[in-house]
Chain A
Amino acid sequence: MSARPLALSSRIPARVAHAGLLWPSLGVILAFMVAPIAIMLTYSFLVPGAYGGVEWTFSTAAYEQILFERDFLDDSLTFTPDYLIIVARSLLQATVATLLCLVISVPTAYYIATRPDRVKNIWLFLITIPYWVNLLIRTIALLFVLRDDGPINSALIDVGVIGQPLALSYNGFAISLGLIYSFLPFMVLPLYSAFERFDFRLLEAAYDLYASRRVAFFRIVLPVMRPGLIAGSLLVFIPSVGSYLAPDILGGGKTLMIGNLIGTQFQAARNWPFGAALSMILLTITLIVLFWLARRAAQQQMN
């Protein structure tokens, strides 16, 4: 469906006039996204200043630092996996969060999409309610729930299921939980709209052609819903990889993720080029994931 373009002025050709409608948002993106990334890219090739900031000397030291440790005395480089582990942990946490969000969201989205319109809207409204509260407050609230003297542990101890409080907070588990909780709606909503567009007669056709429930789900439902699954996964994965709040608060700063590492470099460590280099790595990871998905989608189209 294409709406007929509105004629803004009789003298300006419609195409030019309508391109003008884009300029405000293009301006914002240029000023606040492209420019900062350019600055970060530049900084990542400079030398850190003594009290933060940068000195304008070209250096690849920031990138070397990710993989190698420079010896104080003889300036030699030795391999160290410390930062790689943090990057790997971030990727793992984000992948786990994305997969769990998928598993939780598919039935939820299916349920909502198959309700009558009125009920549907109530559910969608409920799904978005947490977004009325600031993420920081919600994350801290989650910490209170998980703490050693929080309601979960106290209840379990009172009932006598456990003697010692379970280590629910300040670890990878808490971070995962925080990520899932924060980004779940980003998965539910695209899946919901994919289910809503899904033609359920395709399922009848599959059963009619002797497919079992399980086979129909994997061979018909999932492939047809692919765009929704990819959109939801990206919306969860990308902010999860770089997430700052959940690991900081729920991980207690002990289990670092790349977002926290970057944050530290710009604050306490005062190593802006290193922080900038890590940011570039994060950006590259994101872009690789995006390009990989885009290429797979293109290949799907070709077949």
Chain B
Amino acid sequence: MQRAIKHPDPRPRAESNIVPMAGSDPVRHPNSVAAEVRNLRKTYNAGTPHAHEALKDVDLSIRANEFFTLLGPSGCGKTTLLRILGGFEMLTSGTCRIFGEDVSRLPPEARPVNTVFQQYALFPHMTVRRNIAFGLEMLGKPRAEVESTVERMLDLVHMTDYADRRPDTMSGGQRQRVALARALAPQPKLLLLDEPLSALDLKLRQKMRLELKSLQRETGITFIFVTHDQEEALAMSDRVAVISNGHLQQVGTPEDIYEQPQSRFVADFIGESNLIEAKVAGVTGGEASLDIEGFGKVHAPVAERVEDGQKVWLSIRPERLVLGSGDGQERAKVTDRTYLGNAVEYHLHVGEHALTARSPRGGLRGRQDFAPGDVVSVGFEPGSIKVLLS
């Protein structure tokens, strides 16, 4: 089967797509850039009344060997970005490079990239083995190499026993593994994963998270993973890009994204957050005094310039609120108490503001428990208040 490498059409071809991963290639070389997009824009139906800007001026650099996640709510543009990297959508303007090579105008079959599709898109008329062999055959690999690679892939995803079954006789988790093996078999420089876990049930999803991560470490291939599930993103990624409404909101490690959100959107989308409006009431050094209406003043570090009287947002994680009683500072009222198994959540009213506090195993082992109607004091753990300007 060397049909595929005889490219009958005159489209530009990447030299590198035929033999991905040669000896001293940049794929395993850390710190090199695996994928890079600059000033990327994608407009659907451009020039018509239905024009829709899916991506607006996105700049992004993904390092080699990284498990990189594109995270955002549905319709935010993350899948569009992935499809542009895969070559399934053409970008409207900007550039898209894979390991330094401009692939902006290359079709999918000319890119050293493979994809794990959302619903797997396994070929229904082929056995697991034939599915996995397909990409290798298209690259014109010798039969012996195809067979040995297929065996290795089957082993890698623990599907050797199912090699001669067809996709429609298998469970979602098994199909998922086959899809992974099929995409990894040609040894792509980049593996794109389009919400591959969304069709699985919770237990399987958690198991596959670990498998995916170890697979990425074993193969050393750069993974670009799309999801709307922030927990998934935090659990698996080396770095996360949060996307909303076609804009890149923030890029960073899971810790960065969770601990240091830079916008209200990120604070709210990643984990849970109390977002409170406040006014700046003086800045000394790097610390601002902030006035929360109906509550009083709090202090928090500010990174950017703020002016007196400027309106800002404070983000505080529920687990970093400290509730207490008996110190005369009680200003919040418990409106509801929710038992979550490993934690207890309290819904509070502080002046006009509704806050949520979460206490691990609240009420047990000496921790105070509260009931709806109780009046409590509210404190913030040091460093827990993030000041957000947007």
Contact = CB atoms under 8 A, between A and B. Distances in A.
B109 A208 contact: yes
Contacts of B86: 208
Interface string A202-232: 1011111111111100001001101000000
A82 interface: no
A300 B126 CA distance: 10
A210 B115 CA distance: 11
B138 A211 contact: yes
B121 A202 contact: yes
Given A208-B114, A209-B135, A209-B186, A215 B3 contact: yes
B139 interface: yes
A226 B135 CA distance: 22
B162 interface: no
Contacts of A15: none
A220 B108 contact: no
B8 interface: yes
Contacts of A210: 4, 17, 109, 135, 138-139, 186
Interface string B275-305: 0000000000000000000000000000000
Contacts of B123: 202, 205-206, 220, 224
Interface residues of B, number: 30
B134 interface: yes
A201 B116 CA distance: 11
B175 to A, nearest CB: 12
B12 interface: no
Contact of B119 (A201, A211, A214): A201
Contacts of B115: 204-205, 208
Given A204-B88, A207-B108, A207-B109, A212 B7 contact: yes
B380 interface: no
Q: By CB atoms of chain A within 10 A, which of B8, B88, B107, B134 has the most?
A: B134
B178 to A, nearest CB: 12
B112 to A, nearest CB: 10
A208 B108 contact: yes
A199 B135 contact: no
A97 B317 CA distance: 72
Secondary structure dominating the interface of A: helix
A220 B137 CA distance: 14
Given A208-B86, A208-B114, A223 B4 contact: no
A65 B215 CA distance: 73
Interface in A248-297: none
A203 B7 CA distance: 17
A158 to B, nearest CB: 42
Nearest to A218: B3
B121 A211 contact: no
A165 B113 CA distance: 59
A212 B109 contact: yes
Interface string A168-207: 0000000000000000000000000000000101101111
Contact of A212 (B8, B113, B125, B186): B8
A107 B170 CA distance: 33
Nearest to B122: A205
Contacts of B114: 208-209
A223 B125 contact: yes
Contacts of B4: 210-212, 215
Interface in B77-115: 86-88, 107-109, 113-115
Interface in A18-41: none
Contacts of A201: 117, 119, 121
A207 B114 CA distance: 10
B8 A204 contact: no
Interface in B115-147: 115, 117, 119, 121-125, 127, 134-135, 138-139
A213 B135 CA distance: 14
Q: By CB atoms of chain B within 10 A, which of A206, A213, A224 has the most?
A: A206
Contacts of A209: 109, 114, 134-135, 138, 182-183, 186
B109 A211 contact: yes
B122 to A, nearest CB: 8
Contacts of B7: 212
Contacts of A205: 115, 117, 121-123
Q: By CB atoms of chain B within 10 A, which of A204, A209, A213, A220 has the most?
A: A209
Contacts of A303: 127
Nearest to A300: B125
B218 interface: no
A211 B4 CA distance: 6
Contacts of B183: 208-209
Contact of A214 (B8, B121, B127, B135): B8
B107 to A, nearest CB: 7
A241 B115 CA distance: 47
A232 B378 CA distance: 74
Nearest to B86: A208
A215 B183 CA distance: 18
Nearest to A224: B125
Interface in B1-41: 3-4, 7-9, 17
B83 to A, nearest CB: 9
B108 A204 contact: yes
Nearest to B124: A224
B107 A207 contact: yes
Contacts of B138: 209-211, 215
B158 to A, nearest CB: 22
A201 B88 CA distance: 10
B136 to A, nearest CB: 9
Return the 7 tightest CB-CB contacts between A and B, nearest first: A209-B135, A210-B138, A205-B121, A207-B108, A201-B121, A223-B125, A210-B109
25 contacts: A199-B121, A201-B117, A201-B121, A204-B88, A204-B121, A205-B115, A205-B117, A206-B123, A207-B109, A208-B114, A209-B114, A209-B135, A209-B183, A209-B186, A210-B17, A210-B135, A210-B139, A210-B186, A211-B134, A211-B138, A212-B3, A212-B9, A215-B3, A215-B4, A224-B124
Interface of A: 199, 201-202, 204-215, 220, 223-224, 226, 300, 303
